[in-house]
Structure 1
Amino acid sequence: MKETVVIVGAGQAGGEAASSLRQQGYEGRIVLVGDEAYPPYQRPPLSKGFLLGKLQLAQLYLKPEATYERSAIELRLRTRVDAIDRAAQEVALSDGSRLHYDKLVLATGGRARRLGLPGVDEAKLGNLLYLRAIPDVDALRAHLVAGRHLVLIGAGYVGLEVAAAAVDLGMKVTVIDVAPRVLSRVTGPEVSGFIEGVHRARGVTFRMSSVVKRLVVDPSGQAVREVVVAAGGGGEEEHLAADVVLVGIGLVPNTELAAAAGLAVHDGIVVDELARTSDPAVLAVGDCANQPSVYAGRRIRLESVPNAMEHARVAAATLLGKPAPSPAVPWFWSEQYGMRLQMVGLSAGSDRCVIRGSMEARTFSAFYLAGGHLLAADVVGRPAEFLAAKKLVAAKAVIDPAALADDTVPLASLGG
C-alpha cells in the first residue's frame, strides 16, 4: 500500500508542503487538513490590497482549488484535527473520523495574540477586532468608514499596514504601542523613525511607550467607546474616543496539539534542521516551528511567509529521503502608502547603521553591521539593491562602511 502523508494546517506552509511533495516526485497519498473554509491562501494582502478591495478572494488563493484535485492532493477543509495518536499513527478529526498517517506534518501556524484585559468580555464587543484570516477582513471592512476614528493597538506590520489603508479611506487613525518606536522588533531606530514620519505626514497620531489600561464600553455593553492609555503605564491617563479598535500585538504559535501529543515544545514546536520533531514520524513547519538557523547561529521561530515556504520545501525533501537543511537568510516585506519596505536578516545586536541613498526621497538602504560584518539590511524603493543586499547579508560580508554609504559604488561590487 502507498504511504500517506497528512498535513495539519492548510495555510501557506501546509499548501507549499503538499505541492512540494508532488513536485519532488512523491507518489503516495497526501491529505491536507484545514479548519478554514478556504484552500491555502496568502495572508499578507489581508492587511493591504485585499482589505482595500483591490484583490478579489480568488486572487488570494495560492492555487485554484481544481489544481489540488489534479495533483491528487486531498483537501479536507472546515475540518479540525482534535488529537494526534502517535502510537497508532492516527489523527482524530472534528467530524468524528480518524485518519492514518505514515508521516505527519504540522503546519498549524498561529493565532492573533489577545489583548486580555481583566474584566473585558471581548466576544461581546463588536468593534474590537483582530486581523489574521479572511473573515476578520470582512468584519473590519464594515467599520472602515471615512471620518471615523480607528485606534490601533500595536505598531508592528499589521498595525501600520492597516493604518495606511485606513488613512487612504479617509479615517482618523491613532496607533498605540508599549514600545518606544514602531517596528521595534524588526528594524533599527533610524528606519523606525523614518516609517513613523511617513505616517505622521499622512495625519496618523502615535502614543508610543504607552500602555492600554482599560476599555470604556458603551451602555449596551457591545462596543468600545474609549481606549484609556497611560504613558509608561503609570502616567496620567488619556481617554481616546474610538469608533473601531484593531489589536495587532503579535502571534501565538499553535502548539497545543503537539504538546498534547507529547512532542517537544518551547516557543513553538521544536524541530531539527530537517524540520523533524522529537518523533521521527512527525515534522513541523512555518510559524509554529522553532528551528535551528544557520544564519542566526541559534534556534529561532520566524513569522514570515518566505520562511514558511522555504521550511515547507525542506520538510518535503526530508520526507522524500533527500535531506537538505536550509541556508536561507530571513527576509520580510511590508507595503504602506504604496511604499515597499524590504528587510533581510535580523538587525538585533548590530553596533552600527549605515544609510545609503536618501530617506527624504524615500529611496534608500539601511545596513546594520556588528563588528564590521553585515547583519541585516532594510531597503526602501530599491528592489535591485535588495537582491544584492540579500547576498551580502547571507555571506556576512565585511564591507568598508564608507564604501557602503557611497551611492556611486555599485552594491554588488562590495564584499568580494
Structure 2
Amino acid sequence: MTKHPLTTATCIIVGASHAGVNAAFALRKEGWAGKIVLIDSDPRLPYHRPPLSKTYITSNDPIEKLALKPEASYTQDDIELLLGVTVTQLDAKAKKISTYSGDELYYDKLILATGASPIVPAISGLTDAHNLFFMRNLEDSLGIKVAIHQSPNKRVVIIGGGYIGLETAASLKKLGASVVVLERENRILARVTAPEMSAFFLQLHEAHGVKIVTEKNVSAITTDAGVNKVHTSDGAEYLADIIIVGVGVRVNKTLAEQVGLTIENGICVNAQARTSNENIYAIGDCSYHFNPHYQRHIRLESVQNAVDQAKIAALDICGKAQDYNALPWFWSDQYDVKLQMVGLSSGYDQIIIRRENTTEQKFSTWYFAGDELLAVDAINNAKAYVFGTKLIKTNSKINKINLANAQYELTQENLLTTD
C-alpha cells in the first residue's frame, strides 16, 4: 500500500524569518506529516525583525524575547532547524539543494523565503568606516547598542530617510545620541508617502533634536582614529562616531536565478505563491505577486505579507489551494507616535487630511484616485486605520466632505454616500 505523499515527502524552507517560520508551522497545521527542514544562514533562533529599529535598541530585554517561537515549539512540531547554514546551490531537476559546507539535501517541495539584503551604496570609503551598520538583522542592532554606549560623543549619521532610518533615529535620540539624517531626495519618505506626511515626520524629528538634511548625496567617507567624516557632493561634511545606512534593499534571488525561475521585481509567483517551477514556492520580501484589489503586481516588504503568503503556500502544498488576496498593511513607531498604514497609495490624485478634535497628535491621511479610496495613513488613530481598512476592502464610495470634517464621527452612516 502506497503511503500518502504528505507523510513521506520532504519540504525544505530556505529562510527562517517571519515568512519561513510561519510557513513551517502552517504546513504542520494544514496536515503535512512529512519532513520539514527550515534553513537559515543566521545562527540565532529565528527572531522578530521590526523591533530591531524600534524598541530593542533602547531596551534591556534579553535576546530571547525577540524569538518568533520558543525553541521547544520546533521540536514539538517536528521541524528540523538548520541555523548558521548557507544554501549555495539549487538543482531543480534533481530537486536538491547544496550548502556551503558541501551537504546535499533533497526535497519534494521547496519554499524560498530568502528575503532581501541591504543595498550597499557605491560611496568611497564606506566599507572602511568605523562603526558602520546596516539595520537589517540582530547583529546590526546589537552592534549599534554597544557602539552608542561606548561612544563618548554619540554622534550618529544615518544615510537614508526612510522608515528604518527614521525609526532608528528616534530610538537613538532616546539614548542621548546626536543624530543627523542625510536624505538624497527632496523630502524624507519620498517614495512611500505624501508630502504632507513627510512634512509631519520632519517636524516631529526636528522637535526631538534630530537634524534632517534633504537633497544630500553622500560622496565619500574618510576615517581617522575611529572618527568618520561623511562628505556630501555639495562640499558639506559631518562627523560621525557611528554610521547607519538605510537606502533600500535588493531581493535575494541567486538560488532562483540558478534554476531559471521567472524574475521581475522579485521572484514571480501565482496566486498560490508558486513560482514558474511547480515544486518551488516563494514568499515574503523576495516574492513578486499580483494583487487583485489593486490589479497590479507588487513586491512587499512587510510582516503582514510574509505571514499571509506563508499560509497560502502551506495550504497549496497540502492540497487546499486558496488565492492570496490580502490587503497590505504596515506600521511604524517613532517617539510617542504610532503610524498605521493600510493599502497602497501610489497613483493617488487627491488626499484628504482628517484632524480629530483632540489635543493629541491624532489625524489621518486618506488617499483617493477619483472616488476610489486607495490607502489610509493613521497617526495615533487606530479607529481611522480600522475603518479605512473596511472601506478599502469593500470599495465603498465615500462622502469626502464629511470625511474631512471631524464633527462627523467615523461611522458608516456618516461617511458612505447614498448615490
Is the TM value for this pair above 0.5? yes
| Counterpart for residue 373 of structure 2 | 374
2 CA distance for matches of 1:410 and 1:152?
A: 40
Matches within 5 A, 1:187-266: 187-218=193-224, 223=226, 225-230=228-233, 236-266=234-264
Matches within 5 A, 1:97-176: 97-118=103-124, 120=125, 122=127, 124-145=128-149, 147-176=153-182
Does the 8 Å contact 1:332/1:342 carry over to 2? Answer: yes
| Counterpart for residue 233 of structure 1 | none
Q: What letter is aligned with 1:403?
A: N
| SS of alignment partner, residue 236 of structure 2 | strand
1:332 aligns with 2:335: no
Does the 8 Å contact 1:356/1:406 carry over to 2? Answer: yes
Q: What letter is aligned with 2:381?
A: R
Q: What letter is aligned with 1:81?
A: V
Task: Specify every segment of 5 or more residues in structure 1 that has no aligned partner in the other structure, as ranges.
Answer: 231-235
Check 1:151–1:331 CA distance in 2 against 1; reply closer, same or farther (3 A cut): same
Q: Which moved more, 1:389-398 or 1:21-30?
A: 389-398
| SS of alignment partner, residue 196 of structure 1 | helix
Q: Which moved more, 1:22-31 or 1:388-397?
A: 388-397
- Percent of aligned positions that are identical: 38
Q: Deviations over 1:356-406 (max 9, x none)?
A: 125973111110111011110000111132111111122332212111112
| SS of alignment partner, residue 386 of structure 2 | helix
2 CA distance for matches of 1:20 and 1:286?
A: 14
Q: What letter is aligned with 1:151?
A: V
Q: Deviations over 1:337-363 (max 9, x none)?
A: 031101111111111111112597311
Matches within 5 A, 1:286-325: 286-325=284-323
| SS of alignment partner, residue 33 of structure 2 | coil
2 CA distance for matches of 1:192 and 1:323?
A: 41
Q: CA deviation at 1:95?
A: 2.6
| Counterpart for residue 363 of structure 1 | 362
Counting matched residue pairs gives 406
Q: CA deviation at 1:155?
A: 0.6
| Counterpart for residue 64 of structure 1 | 70
Does the 8 Å contact 1:127/1:224 carry over to 2? Answer: no
| Counterpart for residue 32 of structure 2 | 26
| Counterpart for residue 349 of structure 1 | 347
Q: What letter is aligned with 2:145?
A: R
2 CA distance for matches of 1:127 and 1:203?
A: 22
2 CA distance for matches of 1:314 and 1:278?
A: 16
2 CA distance for matches of 1:51 and 1:301?
A: 28
Does the 8 Å contact 1:42/1:60 carry over to 2? Answer: yes
1 CA distance for matches of 2:63 and 2:24?
A: 21
Q: Deviations over 1:124-180 (max 9, x none)?
A: 333221111111112111222474211110111110011001111111111111111
| SS of alignment partner, residue 79 of structure 1 | coil
2 CA distance for matches of 1:361 and 1:202?
A: 17
Q: Which moved more, 1:52-61 or 1:243-252?
A: 52-61
Q: Which runs of 4+ in 1 moved over 6 A?
A: none
2 CA distance for matches of 1:38 and 1:52?
A: 20
Q: What letter is aligned with 1:379?
A: A
Does the 8 Å contact 1:214/1:228 carry over to 2? Answer: yes
| SS of alignment partner, residue 367 of structure 1 | strand
1:7 aligns with 2:10: no
1 CA distance for matches of 2:396 and 2:410?
A: 12
1 CA distance for matches of 2:160 and 2:252?
A: 21
Q: Which moved more, 1:197-206 or 1:265-274?
A: 265-274
Q: CA deviation at 1:224?
A: 5.2
State the TM-score, normalizing by the size of structure 1. 0.94
Cα RMSD for the two superposed structures: 1.6
Q: CA deviation at 1:121?
A: 5.9
Q: What letter is aligned with 2:309?
A: H
Does the 8 Å contact 1:50/1:56 carry over to 2? Answer: no
Q: What letter is aligned with 2:265?
A: D
| Counterpart for residue 397 of structure 2 | 398
| SS of alignment partner, residue 232 of structure 2 | strand
Q: What letter is aligned with 2:377?
A: D
2 CA distance for matches of 1:253 and 1:395?
A: 32
| SS of alignment partner, residue 51 of structure 1 | helix
2 CA distance for matches of 1:329 and 1:60?
A: 26
State the TM-score, normalizing by the size of structure 2. 0.93
1 CA distance for matches of 2:121 and 2:132?
A: 10
2 CA distance for matches of 1:353 and 1:121?
A: 39
2 CA distance for matches of 1:191 and 1:360?
A: 19
Q: Which moved more, 1:136-145 or 1:359-368?
A: 359-368
2 CA distance for matches of 1:151 and 1:6?
A: 40
Q: Deviations over 1:70-116 (max 9, x none)?
A: 00111111111111111111111223221110000000001111122
